[in-house]
Amino acid sequence: MRPRSLYALGFLALATAPLLSCESLDNGKLPEDPSAPVLMKILIQDELPRGGRNVATDLLDKSPKVSCSEQKPCTTGDHFSHPPCNLDTKICPDPLKPEETPPALGAIFSGTTGGNQIRIIFSKILAPEIATATINMMTGRVDKWELKDPSIIGFYDAHGNELAAEKSWDPTGSPTLTSDLFLNPLGPALVLKPKNPMNLFTTYSIRLKPELIKDAKGQAVTKDINKAAVATSYEFKTEGLHAAGGALADLNGVLDVKDVLVIKTSALFVPRSLKAVVRRDGEIVETAASPGYLYVNGVMDPNQCTPAPQINIFRVSGRDRAEWEEGDYTVSIEAISIESCGARFSMDPFGLTPFEEVAFKVKRKPEGVDDDKHEPFLAKELLLEWECALLNPADMITGCAADGGVGGQ
């Protein structure tokens, strides 16, 4: 018989002990949480992982304010819910708190429902009989977990009418940790996806049947993360018409001379209600304010001008595009919502601060610098309102007195 080498014998000796000690496939498995499930969060967020507005609100967030400074930074985490310290207030921002971020209107895309999803998040996996798996016959994977009793959750208007929504169970995710709130949402969660968009400044409610929401041991959810009794209804009010990104945010308030001052809005507005005044050194600058328009096959088509939730302010000379002069500017904007005359464009999502005298700066990019972050804001890539060949129905007069209509609200 061929003798074994000392190396091989030594390796076998090292390998034998752990192999022999493997008494069960459950060794090393974390013990099952014996306590009843806890309601951790009620998140209203983008329906899709990418392409939305990247906004979320937690109706249960009652966390206290946390002080911070350059020497004492805020805790780190996913990009949205863990922003850096506000050095002006010396307080860590809490974007999930309804007092800071009211529930947002989601962005609507092809293949989505109303643009939002509502995630009712628990501390542990619920009983397996809560849902039935829908299997994709092509891949063999679970496409969706459909609720056996859809009545355990619901989405309602202020009059108590249940609104159409897709309902499902998502057993994935952590209830407290994620690298990206939108790409890897928190879970496990009961999920509602309203089939129609929500409206501005509108009250809705999410209703639960806590006694029917149980874990595998039959324990019902009775407490939330704040140690309060789980309610059967959670009411909220949506945001107003406000600035929601664009050049001021993406470019830190500094435009190139060839840029358009692009301001994204939380919802569509009446184009003919749009008024913008730009000043430099106290003097009015010649500009043209226009709605943004949706791209058609990757380009702006003057024959298909469908307004987007965006305000474009061009530097012009007559009816021609012009370059901005370098310097410091301010801009004031007025606009009213298409769906509600009472929703007027503001700085904040609560409609409290008018969009007035907001500062920005223009500085020419150095020669040879290729800064692609300016590409979405270049004047040559965007349409002026008078370049559109057809009047879109959204440009027509509404019932709002402010846009020339016959009434007001």
Give the per-residue pLDDT at 11.
33
Give the per-residue pLDDT at 181.
94
Give the per-residue pLDDT at 4.
39
Name the nearest CA neighbour of 345 among 273, 263, 242: 242
The contacts of residue 42 (CB under 8 Å, 6+ apart) are 58, 59, 60, 118, 119, 120, 121, 206, 234
Q: Return per-residue pLDDT of the chain as tens, 409 residues.
A: 444 333 333 433 334 444 444 444 454 445 678 999 999 999 999 998 888 889 999 999 999 999 999 999 998 888 888 889 999 999 999 999 999 999 999 887 655 688 999 999 999 999 999 999 888 888 888 888 999 999 999 999 999 999 999 999 999 999 999 999 999 999 999 999 999 999 999 999 999 999 999 999 999 999 999 999 999 999 999 999 999 999 988 888 999 999 999 999 999 999 999 999 999 999 999 999 999 998 777 777 888 888 889 999 999 999 999 999 999 999 999 999 998 878 999 999 999 999 999 999 999 988 766 665 668 899 998 999 999 886 554 444 455 654 444 333 3
Q: Is the dihedral of CA 243, 249, 253, 258 positive or negative?
A: negative
Name the nearest CA neighbour of 46 among 123, 153, 119: 119
Give the per-residue pLDDT at 109.
66
Name the nearest CA neighbour of 222 among 232, 210, 233: 210
Rounded to the nearest 5°, which phi and psi values hold at 253?
80, 15
Peptide bond into 188 cis (omega under 30): yes
Give the per-residue pLDDT at 40.
98
Give the chain's domains with CATH numbers. Answer: 32-61+96-238 (no CATH), 243-403 (2.60.40.1220)
**CA-CA distance, 153 to 130, in Å (whole number)?**
12
Residue 121, strand partner residues: 41, 189
- What is the separation of C-alpha 203 from the centre of its chain, rounded to a whole number of angstroms? 19
The contacts of residue 282 (CB under 8 Å, 6+ apart) are none
